[in-house]
Amino acid sequence: MTPLTIFGISNTALLAVTAALTGFALVALAMWIAGLISPRSFNPQKGEPYECGIPTRGESMTQFHVGYYLFAILFLMFDVETVFLFPWAVRMRELGVDGLISIAVFFSILVLGLVYAWRKGALEWK
Amino acid sequence: MQDFAVITNWIHNFLVSTLGCAPWLAVTIECVAVGVGLLLLYALLALFYIYFERKVCAFFQCRLGPNRVGPWGLLQSFADMFKILIKELIELKNIDKFLFALAPYLVIIASMLAFAVLPWGNGLQIIDFNIGIFFLLAVSSIGVLGILLAGWSSNNKFTLIGALRSGAQMVSYELSIGLSVVTMVCLAGTMSVTGIVEAQDRLWFIFSGHVSSIIAFIIYMIAGTAETNRGPFDLPEAESELTAGYHTEYSGIHFGFFYLAEYLNLFIISGVAALLFFGGWMPLHIPGWDAFNNIMDYIPSVVWFVGKAIALSFIIIWFKWTFPRLRIDHLLKLEWKYLLPINLFNLALMVCIIIFGWQI
């Protein structure tokens, strides 16, 4: 499979940078136009946080539920293991039974991790 | 089957041979052309999707939807775009100005990069290399950073809760998307986007992988809906609880970027579903029906791809008007206790199907 890209540009990084710059240009351009044509007025009340009209109480950047953090850690574990499955998935047919046995060991560790987290109650939202 | 590489090669030859441009100049002109094309396509698709969603929503609720601006209300989205451009950008107190300004850039750039990987037609892929689908997964997960930054920097409790919910939801469901993609990569034997499309020349993957592809497709659609923060999974912007979620404090066009990225992500999710399960731009081929296959080849590949993507996004929009919103613990339970084990089992099933040569 030859890496073919539009216009025969074989440099993928160049095209990726072009796409990223296009995204940047979209935001910058729209912000610039909006800055030119949108009205401006000053009012001391306007800069307050919008919390349904009631004056805000206490710090806004408060402590948050630890559950979010726990799920982020679990995600990190499983996502990194999913990344390791990709190279094997591509060469699966060539690697055959040997590759299958190796990945089965790896896969069972992944499943054990899930079972462990489940039994520990890490998947419950308290 | 027509090949767009003919057109792009002609433009390249025209620039180099007829106009006598230096190679670096030709490449620069082509990159600018790619950028402008992407920008126009991105904006037009977003405007189309806003109109499409409003019309579909209206018909589900026995209303007419937008019908005053232009014929059948077709120009409504353009009017909305100009309206949002002339709205005031409110300057807020106590916000983290740098992160607040950075968040929309991250969200848009992530969706633009993913957008550029999609196979638009035969020879009409912009970023196309041997790990295309992996690149797509990687860049589309940058978007969640933008959402977290937007919620954190706004100095507002609602935005913070919205951003955290969104973060937990998006990272959890990304796992399901990743595993569904691995399942289909097993079947395709390649990660290149063109390679995946060409592997479906004989039969689309949804038909050739038995029940395993169908399970992967269902899981992908559920996880994709959650990934775009839509439908029954719109907890991050639950209006009745959090006003507007992570983008509450954004005003005018600044808010518009999140809105734009949300619709484009809807298109990207359905585009990837079309690529992995329904053959990307590949026409419907049935083995043995040569006459039928030849007739199908006459329909342009762009029409196939865009048609499939829009049909699949119709299903995602349908979800939104059918199911009630989930609660956060139900949402995480659905992912971690149902979708993830089913997905792991499904991957093993797919491996068995391929190893024993059961695929059709």
The rounded mean pLDDT for chain B is 85
Question: Are the Cβ atoms of A8 and B8 closer than 8 angstroms?
Answer: yes
Is the confidence at residue B114, as pLDDT, over 80?
A: yes
- A interface mutation test: which of B127, B145, B350 has the most A CBs within 10 A? B127
Q: How confident is the model at residue B247 (pLDDT cuts 50, 70, 90)?
A: confident
Asked casually if ipTM beats, i.e. exceeds, 0.90, the reply is no
- List CB contacts (< 8 A) between B160 and chain A: 60-62, 64
Is pTM, for the whole model, over 0.95? no
Cβ contact A125:B333 at 8 Å? yes
| A108 interface with B at CB cutoff 8 Å | no
Query: What are B254-298's pLDDT values in tens digits?
Result: 888 888 888 899 999 999 999 999 888 888 888 888 888 888 888
- List CB contacts (< 8 A) between A123 and chain B: 332-333, 336-337
Is the confidence at residue B122, as pLDDT, over 50?
A: yes
Query: What are B139-160's pLDDT values in tens digits?
Result: 888 888 888 888 888 877 788 8
Please list the ranges in chain A whose pLDDT falls under 50. Answer: 1-4
| A56 interface with B at CB cutoff 8 Å | yes
Q: What is the pLDDT of residue B65?
A: 83
- The third-level CATH classification (topology) of the domain covering A6-120 is Methane Monooxygenase Hydroxylase; Chain G, domain 1 (1.20.58)
Question: Are the Cβ atoms of B185 and A90 closer than 8 angstroms?
Answer: yes
Residue spans per domain, chain A: 6-120
Q: Across residues B177-200, what is the average pLDDT?
A: 88
Nearest to A125 among B156, B164, B328 (CB): B328
Nearest to A6 among B94, B105, B125 (CB): B125
Q: What is the pLDDT of residue B289?
A: 83
Q: How confident is the model at residue B26 (pLDDT cuts 50, 70, 90)?
A: confident
Q: How confident is the model at residue B310 (pLDDT cuts 50, 70, 90)?
A: very high
Is the confidence at residue B359, as pLDDT, over 80?
A: no
